[in-house]
Amino acid sequence: MIRHLILATLLVAGLAPTCVAAADSPSLADREGRSALVFGFNGEWLSQFDDAMFAWRKQVGERTGLRLGLSLGFGDNDLEVIDSREDTFVQPDTTLQQTSSVSDTRMIDDYDVEIDLLLLRHAKAGRRVSLYYGLGPSVAYDRAEQETASLRESDGSTTRETGTATSRTWRYGALVVAGVEWFITDSISLHGEYRAGVHYRDALSERESRREMFEDGGSMATLESLQTQTREETGWRLDDAGARFGVSVFF
Q: Give yes or no for a contact between 205 and 166, defined as CB atoms under 8 angstroms apart.
A: yes
Question: What pLDDT is attached to residue 45?
Answer: 45
Q: What is the mean pLDDT of residues 182-190?
A: 91
| C-alpha of 133 from chain center | 22
Q: Give CA–CA dist 116/178, Å, rounded.
A: 15
Question: What pLDDT is attached to residue 76?
Answer: 75
Residue whose C-alpha is closest to residue 181's, from 65, 51, 50: 65
Model confidence at 13: pLDDT above 50: no
Domains of the chain, earliest start first: 2-250 (2.40.160)
Question: What pLDDT is attached to residue 11?
Answer: 45
Residue whose C-alpha is closest to residue 163's, from 205, 218, 203: 205
Q: How confident is the model at residue 143 (pLDDT cuts 50, 70, 90)?
A: very high
Q: How confident is the model at residue 153 (pLDDT cuts 50, 70, 90)?
A: confident
Give 232 or 212, the one with higher predicted confidence.
Answer: 232
Sequence-separated (6 or more) residues with CB below 8 Å from residue 24: none
Give 25 or 132, the one with higher predicted confidence.
Answer: 132
Percent of the chain exceeding pLDDT 70 equals 76
Model confidence at 17: pLDDT above 80: no
pLDDT digits (tens, 9 = 90+) for 45-101: 444 455 788 999 999 988 899 999 999 888 777 777 777 666 666 666 666 666 777
Give 73 or 245, the one with higher predicted confidence.
Answer: 245
Cα–Cα–Cα angle for 199, 143, 47, nearest 5°?
80
Q: Give CA–CA dist 174/209, Å, rounded.
A: 37
Model confidence at 219: pLDDT above 60: no
Residue 241: how many other CB atoms lie within 10 Å: 22
Q: How far apart are the first and last CA of the chain?
A: 35
Residue 196: how many other CB atoms lie within 10 Å: 16
